[in-house]
Structure formats: structure tokens, C-alpha cells
Amino acid sequence: MSRAIDAIEKELEGERATALGDAGRRLEAALAELALGTTEDRLDEAATATWHYMILRESVRMFDHGAALEVYGVPPAVLARVGVIKKR
């Protein structure tokens, strides 16, 4: 039974890594859009993409986000909105 669980866990790790890569690309795209000009919607999109990226990093047991967010160049204005949910 342990081998079966190990195989499933290995597959899940691969899926998490793929999802993390996708989230990183979405974060890059949101930050590129923000670089075109700061608007409320672009800040919100970048903050949401940052939040999702951070959550996925944590799913692969990466809890220190500082260096990764620095590599992406996430600005303080975006970080200030991470986790904020607006009523629509």
C-alpha cells in the first residue's frame, strides 16, 4: 500500500509544480499589464495573481516568499492588496 501512496504523492507533487509554473506565468503577465499603467483593476489583478502564486508555493512546502517575489519584482502597492477580497 505504501508504494501506491508514494506513487500518488509523486504524481501530485508534479501537478503542484506544474500549477506553480502556471501561476508564475500568470503573475508575470499581471505585472506586465500593471507596468503599462497603474489602475485599480490592474493592481487588483496583480494582487490576486500574487496571492495565488503564494498559495501554490505553500502547497509545495515553500513558505518563504520574499526572494521569489523579489525576483518577480512585485511592488509594495501590489503586496499591500494581497488577500483583499472586494465585494462585486
pLDDT of residue 39: 95
pLDDT of residue 20: 93
pLDDT of residue 1: 62
What value does the mean pLDDT of the chain take? 93
pLDDT tens-digit readout, 17-43: 899 999 999 999 999 999 999 999 999
Across 7-17, average pLDDT: 89
Q: What is the distance between the alpha carbons of residues 54 and 56, in angstroms, rounded to a whole number?
A: 5
> Is pTM beyond 0.85 here?
yes
CB atoms within 10 A of CB 51: 19
